[in-house]
Amino acid sequence: MQRPEIRTFEHGIHAIDLGYIRPGLAASHLIVRDSRAALVDTGPNGSVPRLLAALDALGVAREAVDYAILTHVHLDHAGGAGELLRALPNATAVLHPRGVANLIDPTRLEAGTRAVYGDQDYDALFGRLVPIPESRIIAAEDNQVLTLGRSRLHLLATPGHALHHLAIHDETAGAIFSGDVFGISYRVFDNSEGEPFIFPTTSPTQFDPDQAHASIERIRALAPGAVYLAHFSRVTGIDRLAADLHRDLDRFVELAGGFDDGRDSEESLYRALFDHLSGRLDAHGSPTDLKTRETWLAMDVRLNAAGLLGWKRRVARTRSG
């Protein structure tokens, strides 16, 4: 295949566009240190050829990849892990203990994802999941350290988006690889000064606003010079972005409080969330028109609406029980 788009940063960090849905939507990050390598997130099965082509283009031998670190097991982040490990003979999958069973036997993971996306979209986006042998998995505890050459990668339990979510603190780069817990920031929304626009992802099925706030603060408190997002890659100015995420989480929860459960409510909440983010984009100076905003925001905002209403149902059941 043709060389995928690769963005190269300092400290041996490369962002590989996974080609998931459209360019600029999802990235895997390759970290190369002292001739050893780690990949952060793999994308779905369809992204595996792009990752292998990127390794070839960057001159990284497949035998040099020590880890495929999965921030969480949602399939746009981890669906291709089993297929990828078939091509990386020395690599171990590293993930939160809560996600391990789902990759050893992905039957329930596939069923749960089908329930969120529907069969037609699931088949188009993700395909058949390849199990990973338990012997090739590290169940990473909070604050566990991986060595990559002479570098240290600290694994941080960061729930909020999902209970099985990890972020990676890269000491050498002074950076965090945040998966989804530090939000989404598509480059198409950058303003004319190049400043990023960010918003939270509150997807089903384990979103929790209190945990999300705490995880954002844990990342901010480390004072990283940059955060590398799965959607989409490097952002800086972390204090400002953290403040924006906190405000949006509070507003999202406030908006969700105005709607009962049900399909009509999900559609109404979607529209309220979209209008809120569109107003923020105007204030940010994003040059995008309505059609572009709908193209880039629709899927995320629909998942956010479903996740917020799902969280409300869980809270209601807890209180009634």
Report pLDDT digits (tens) over 240-275: 999 999 999 999 999 999 987 666 799 999 999 999
Does residue 9 have a pLDDT over 90? yes
d(CA 193, CA 187): 12
Write the CB contacts of 180 (distance below 8 Å, at least 6 apart in sequence): 71, 72, 74, 77, 161, 162, 165, 201, 203, 229, 230, 231
In contact, 205 and 310? CB cutoff 8 Å = yes
Does residue 114 have a pLDDT over 70? yes
Q: What percent of the chain has pLDDT over 70?
A: 98
Q: What percent of the chain has pLDDT over 90?
A: 88
Does residue 117 have a pLDDT over 90? no
Does residue 209 have a pLDDT over 70? yes
Instruction: Average the pLDDT over 219-239 and give the result.
Output: 98
321: pLDDT confidence band, cut at 50, 70 and 90? low
d(CA 291, CA 45): 29
Provide the mean pLDDT of the chain.
Answer: 95
pLDDT number for residue 128: 86
pLDDT number for residue 1: 63
Instruction: Average the pLDDT over 82-97 and give the result.
Output: 98
Instruction: Average the pLDDT over 296-304 and give the result.
Output: 97
Distances (CA, A) of 77 to 46, 90, 201, 267: 12, 20, 14, 26
2: pLDDT confidence band, cut at 50, 70 and 90? low
Instruction: Average the pLDDT over 4-28 and give the result.
Output: 97
pLDDT number for residue 261: 67
In contact, 217 and 239? CB cutoff 8 Å = no
Better pLDDT: 122 or 158: 158
pLDDT number for residue 277: 98
| Radius of gyration of the chain from its Cα atoms, rounded to whole angstroms | 19
Instruction: Average the pLDDT over 44-62 and give the result.
Output: 97
115: pLDDT confidence band, cut at 50, 70 and 90? confident
